């Protein structure tokens, strides 16, 4: 039995030696290194396969925008804000809205009925112009509570200088997206 074990060990050492010599020989016969130049006139295609600065939506985390529109105890319409204050899409950029979540309540006389809500992309301050909107509807439960999610695969564009208004008394909207250079 000891002889079989010794033969197996000797065979294993031999195989490792052959692989090491073969790999070393292959590496040592490699040609000169290749240099790739990435110029503006002839760009080299790249792909971020290691994660790096890009996120699951292909954008750096620094371009993310999270807005909250809280009308639970306020008027039916209002400006969506960041946690630190009001938000306007910076000049030269556009906001791509990818997701929205909403929840709220209505008087129980509207229980078991549909609630209609809007998110509006606006421009200007006086007058405010609505450039696009998303209309939502959801069913309130027996106590008047409602909630929902909206996932926009291709995104909803809010233009430079624009803001988002939420419409729906008693509603809280959470809106997520990211900034991109305006085309």
Residue with the bigger pLDDT between 6 and 143: it is 143
Give the whole-number percent of the chain exceeding pLDDT 70: 69
Q: Give the pLDDT confidence score for residue 27 in this predicted structure.
A: 43
Give the residue-averaged pLDDT of 32-54: 66
Alpha-carbon Rg for the chain, nearest whole angstrom, is 29
* Residue the block writes with tokens 């052959």: 18
Residue pair 94/160 in contact (Cβ under 8 Å)? The answer is yes
- At 82-135, the pLDDT tens digits run 877 888 999 999 999 999 999 998 888 888 999 999 898 988 776 778 888 899
- At 149-165, the pLDDT tens digits run 999 988 999 999 998 98
pLDDT band at 38 (very low <50, low <70, confident <90, very high): confident
Q: Give the pLDDT confidence score for residue 179 in this predicted structure.
A: 92
- Stated pTM of the model: 0.65
Q: Give the pLDDT confidence score for residue 18 in this predicted structure.
A: 46
DSSP state of 90: P
Q: Taking 60 as the threshold, does the pLDDT of residue 24 lie above it?
A: no
Q: Taking 70 as the threshold, does the pLDDT of residue 3 lie above it?
A: no
Q: Taking 50 as the threshold, does the pLDDT of residue 31 lie above it?
A: yes
DSSP assignment of 8-31 equals HHHHHHHHHHHHHHHHHHHHHT--
Q: Taking 80 as the threshold, does the pLDDT of residue 14 lie above it?
A: no
pLDDT band at 15 (very low <50, low <70, confident <90, very high): low
Cα separation values, 60 from 102, 130, 132, 175, Å: 25, 29, 26, 18
pLDDT band at 21 (very low <50, low <70, confident <90, very high): very low
């Amino acid at each position: 039995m000891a002889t079989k074990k010794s033969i197996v060990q000797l065979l294993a050492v031999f195989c490792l030696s052959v692989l090491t010599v073969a790999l070393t020989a292959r590496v040592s016969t490699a040609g000169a290194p290749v240099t790739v130049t990435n110029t503006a006139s002839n760009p080299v295609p790249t792909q971020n396969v290691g994660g790096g600065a890009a996120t699951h939506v292909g954008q750096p985390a620094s371009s993310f925008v999270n807005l909250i529109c809280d009308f639970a105890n306020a008027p039916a319409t209002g400006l969506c804000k960041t946690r630190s204050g009001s938000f306007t899409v910076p000049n030269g950029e556009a906001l791509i809205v990818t997701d929205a979540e909403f929840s709220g309540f209505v008087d129980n006389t509207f229980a078991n009925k549909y609630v209609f809500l809007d998110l509006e992309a606006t421009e200007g301050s006086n007058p405010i112009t609505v450039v696009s909107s998303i209309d939502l509807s959801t069913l309130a439960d027996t106590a008047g509570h409602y909630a929902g999610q909206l996932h926009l695969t291709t995104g909803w564009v809010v233009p430079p200088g624009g803001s988002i208004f939420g419409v729906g008394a008693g509603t809280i909207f959470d809106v997520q997206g990211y900034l991109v250079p305006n085309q």
